[in-house]
């Protein structure tokens, strides 16, 4: 497990438990044993399973039995996992575990909806950096579990030259020339036909085309004529993603997959043993 994820888990537990779970400590004897299970209360694509064991380990440990894995398609009533341990540990971790599972399964489920809409085309759906601060690795893992392709993880692993970079560099060609020295993949945003031609003339092999209608995007893609990969973004939703995919684009990127995914309904049930 990545140390970054351990840190996320530690912060999540600390903000919920703080100095101690006063309700559980007041009501439940320390040596009380219990078992519980996680239950899907609606259809979903599951994500966040990798968080559960280290989360319980951080509060003294529990025996976890995963019944499903990330990317599993669940129906209402499906069990996700069984857990056995002290009642105090299970109760302390309940809300944090559910928060992770519900949020990440929401991302995976929405990702699956987008990926399903473009089936049969050559187009792939990309996620973006529009993630919850601190949860990017988990949310991108959830998006991948739902069937979309992870775009760059951050500002450090690929170059995406956007309109403000172009303005700051003094133009498309200047930005491209300077970016090559970094030795990492380069993508450049173009917002006008003259920028499109300049980017292609400068050797761009991945173009980001933003805020066009599907009809306009198809015209621009015909001008590109296979000389570069084309990614479309801006205003693409579930109702329109198929139309954009059918323009001949190689990719569509959708920020909503991570910034607007609704949480899924998952319950936790506990009983004494």
Q: What is the pLDDT along the chain (273 residues), one digit of tens a residue?
A: 588 899 999 999 999 999 999 999 999 999 999 999 999 999 999 999 999 999 999 999 999 999 999 999 999 999 999 999 999 999 999 999 999 999 999 999 999 999 999 999 999 999 999 999 999 999 999 999 999 999 999 999 999 999 999 999 999 999 999 998 888 889 999 999 999 999 999 999 999 999 999 999 999 999 999 999 999 999 999 999 999 999 999 999 999 999 999 999 999 999 999
Question: Is there a catalytic annotation at residue 264?
Answer: no
Question: Is there a catalytic annotation at residue 162?
Answer: yes
What is the pTM for the complete model shown?
0.96
Contact 118, 147 (CB under 8 A): no
Alpha helices in the chain, H assignment, sequence order: 3-17, 22-27, 49-57, 87-117, 136-145, 163-169, 172-179, 193-201, 214-224, 241-245, 256-259
Question: Is there a catalytic annotation at residue 189?
Answer: yes
Identify the CATH class of 3-114+261-272: alpha beta
Question: Is there a catalytic annotation at residue 130?
Answer: yes
Contact 108, 262 (CB under 8 A): no
The full set of domain ranges for the chain reads 3-114+261-272, 149-253
Q: Which of 79, 95, 124, 229 is catalytic?
A: 95
Q: Which of 162, 173, 178, 191 is catalytic?
A: 162
Q: 149-253 has which fold? A: TIM Barrel (3.20.20)
């Amino acid at each position: 497990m990545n140390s970054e994820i351990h840190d996320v888990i530690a912060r999540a537990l600390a903000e919920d438990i703080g100095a101690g779970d006063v309700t559980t400590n007041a009501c439940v004897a320390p040596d009380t044993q219990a078992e519980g299970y996680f239950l899907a209360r609606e259809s979903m694509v599951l994500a966040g399973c990798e968080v559960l064991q280290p989360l319980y380990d951080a509060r003294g440990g529990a025996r976890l039995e995963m019944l499903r894995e990330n990317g599993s398609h669940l129906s209402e009533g499906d069990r996700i996992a069984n857990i056995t341990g002290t009642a105090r540990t299970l109760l302390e971790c309940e809300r944090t575990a559910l928060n992770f599972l519900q949020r990440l399964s929401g991302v995976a489920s929405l990702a699956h909806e987008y990926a399903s809409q473009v089936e049969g085309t050559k187009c792939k759906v990309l996620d973006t950096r529009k993630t919850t601060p601190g949860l990017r690795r988990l949310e991108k893992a959830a998006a991948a579990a739902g069937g979309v392709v992870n775009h760059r993880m951050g500002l450090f692993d690929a170059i995406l030259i956007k309109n403000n970079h172009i303005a700051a560099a003094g133009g498309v060609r200047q930005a491209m020339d300077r970016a090559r020295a970094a030795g990492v993949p380069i993508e450049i945003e173009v917002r006008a036909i003259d920028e499109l031609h300049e980017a292609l003339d400068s050797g761009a092999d991945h173009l980001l085309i933003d805020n066009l209608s599907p009809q306009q995007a198809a015209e621009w893609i015909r001008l590109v004529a296979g000389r570069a990969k084309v990614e479309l973004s801006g205003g693409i939703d579930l109702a329109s993603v198929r139309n954009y995919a059918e323009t001949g684009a190689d990719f569509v990127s959708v920020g909503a997959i991570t910034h607007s995914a609704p949480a899924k309904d998952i319950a936790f049930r506990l009983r004494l043993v």
